[in-house]
Structure 1
Amino acid sequence: MAKINVLVVEDESIVSKDIQHSLKKLGYNVVGSASTGEKAIELASSTNPDVILMDIMLKGDLSGIDASEEINKMHAIPIIFLTAYADESTLSKAKITEPYGYILKPFKEIDLHTTIEMAIYKHSREQEVVKERDLLYTLVSNKDAKQGGGYVFVKSNSKLVKLKDEEIYYIEALKDYVVIHTADTRYTIHSTMKDIERKLGKEAFIRIHRSFIVRLDKIATIEYPNLTLEDIDKHIPIGGSYKDELNNRINLV
């Protein structure tokens, strides 16, 4: 059985090393450690951990709660909060991020082990349910979507969020997920690019790369092998096999 990969986020160096030592002793694999919320967000993307141990009271601009909210927007990774003490207001904010557990410091190894195992089990069961539901309503397209005047519903945490076609800038493939990007938000869901392409329709959107679909009227500039979109500072690659289709779809004068 593969080892469980754990990301440790703790701003006290001694405590962080103690946690990492205990994790390794218990048979877990520590894929990284961070002392700030910003670094935690970065490592959550680059190391793809199975679970994150997150100190609530991180020093710096982002608390553990803030970092967890950002990570939850991008990834489906169970987060367990570490805390020595937190007032009622902090705990109330922490609840909103729907953590998979709390571990009080100083901790016992049995508490660490039990909480992680329960979080992993709960998350795996939830993912099974999500995959079944995704087939039905993670993205629900209306009958007008193919004319580019429709909308889709995207599952975000425990609710469905309505996105109008014109709000979507581009869609990006990410392993077993796709990420739908708007001007200021992104939604990560279980799906395939082929399924997204079908549900959004081909009038308003075009696939320009194996990993990217863009909305045609959001394209700002094209300079092969990349293009840029309005209001978004990002270069998106154009795959060689998609170049001719793109040339045929744009209003070239």
Structure 2
Amino acid sequence: MATPIKILIVEDEMIIAANISLQLSSLGYDVTGIIPRGEEALTNIKQNQPDILLMDISLKGKLDGIETVQIMQNDYDIPVIYLTANADDVNFDRAKATNPYAFISKPFKKLDLQRAIELTINQIHCRKDSESSATMTNNSPFILSDCIFVRHLDKMVKVVIKDILYIEAERNYCRIYSKDKEYLLVMTLKDMDEKLPQKHFIRVHRSFIVNLSQIDEVANSHIVIAKKAIPVSKILKEELLNRLQTI
């Protein structure tokens, strides 16, 4: 079952806000809050980041809706739909500079709201698809929960995580050793370590990351995987032993 889209309403006219909330709930969306002030909205976003921000431009308080969005965008990339009863050129140009996904002029019908949100969700999905494609076309591995896709001979090929034995650094490259193949990636071992799922892998040496499930032996200064002796640094050995005890 798909998780409902989370929407935060920032609107200081509480009757309008409550009406919007009822409409969104009836359409199957998850309203994470109704907030009247920009300052409170920024605090709420830190605690529970929504998928879409429905923002009234003319908020009372220190921050109006556009200023609130400008501050929010320093830390978050949340699609914004503006609500406005005052669509003058100055406010429109200020709002446009924050790249909103839609504008809704008050008073509005339920269908206006529904369509603006559906169009926003469609744009979110399109953007995610294009980001995935971009990731697939560069040399970085595309990492999923049970496999990674790596570039090999001008193609992205699937490598099952449980089949990876270890990864060795070669200057600014990484060489992945799996059960039946090797893959050379243009990526540092540090970057690879940050991207790989931590429950499967551990860095045991400045030049090696290993798959915990593939370790055959643990000696004083090295481990053995598929008959290959891999050095283990003193600093990292304690963490390795702790991890082995928990799996």
**What TM-score range do you get, normalising by the shorter chain?**
0.5 to 0.7
**How many angstroms does 1:73 deviate by?**
2.0
1:131 CA drift (Å): 4.3
Give unmatched runs, 5+ long, in structure 1.
139-193, 199-240, 245-253
Counterpart of 1:54 in structure 2: which amino acid? M
Aligned mates of 1:196, 1:55 — CA distance in 2 = 43
Question: Which residue of 2 is the match for residue 53 of structure 1?
Answer: 54
1:100 aligns with 2:101: yes
Q: Is the 8 A contact 1:4 1:28 kept in 2?
A: yes
What is aligned with 1:116?
117
Identical counterparts, % of pairs: 37
Structure 2 stretches of 5 or more lacking a match? 141-189, 195-234, 239-247
What is the CA–CA distance in structure 1 between the aligned matches of 2:90 and 2:117, rounded to whole Å? 25
Quote how far apart the aligned CAs of 1:71 are: 1.6
Aligned to 1:23: 24
Task: Indicate how the Cα distance of structure 1 residues 3 and 90 shifts in structure 2: closer, same or farther if over 3 A, else same.
Answer: same
Could you tell me how far apart the structure 2 residues matched to 1:10 and 1:116 are? Answer: 16
Query: What SS class does the counterpart of residue 31 from structure 1 fall into?
Result: strand
Aligned 8 A contact 1:10 1:54 in 2:
yes
**2:58 counterpart of 1:62:** no
Q: 1:195 to 1:24 in 2, by over 3 A?
A: same
Q: SS in structure 2 opposite 1:58?
A: coil
CA distance in structure 2 between the aligned counterparts of 1:95 and 1:53, rounded to whole angstroms: 15
- Structure-1 separation of matches of 2:19 and 2:139: 44
SS at match of 2:60: coil
Q: How many angstroms apart in 2 are the aligned matches of 1:123 and 1:74?
A: 18
Amino acid at match of 1:128: D
In 1, the alpha carbon distance for the partners of 2:93 and 2:72 equals 19
User: How many angstroms does 1:132 deviate by?
Assistant: 4.3
How far apart are 1:133 and its partner, in Å? 3.9
Q: Is 1:195 equivalent to 2:166 in the alignment?
A: no
Does the aligned pair in 1 maintain the 2:87–2:105 contact within 8 Å? no
Conservation of the 8 A alpha-carbon contact between 1:10 and 1:35: yes
Q: Tell me the number of residue pairs that the alignment of Structure 1 and Structure 2 aligns.
A: 150
Cα distance in structure 1, aligned partners of 2:40 and 2:67: 12
Q: Secondary structure at the match of 1:73?
A: coil
Q: How does 1:207-226 map to 2 (within 5 A)?
A: none
Q: Specify the code of the residue in structure 1 equivalent to 2:42.
A: I
Task: Judge which range, 126-135 or 95-104, deviates more.
Answer: 126-135
Alignment partner, residue 89 of structure 1: 90
- TM-score, reference length from structure 1: 0.53
Deviates more, 1:19-28 or 1:122-131: 122-131
Matches within 5 A, 1:1-253: 1-133=2-134, 136=138, 195=191
User: Structure 1 counterpart of 2:65, which letter?
Assistant: G
CA distance in 1, matches of 2:115, 2:16: 19
What RMSD, in angstroms, separates the aligned Cα atoms of the two structures?
3.0
Aligned partner letter, 1:81 = Y
Q: Is the 8 A contact 1:8 1:16 kept in 2?
A: yes
| Runs of 4+ more than 6 Å apart | none
Secondary structure at the aligned position of 1:74 is classed as coil
Bigger CA radius of gyration:
2
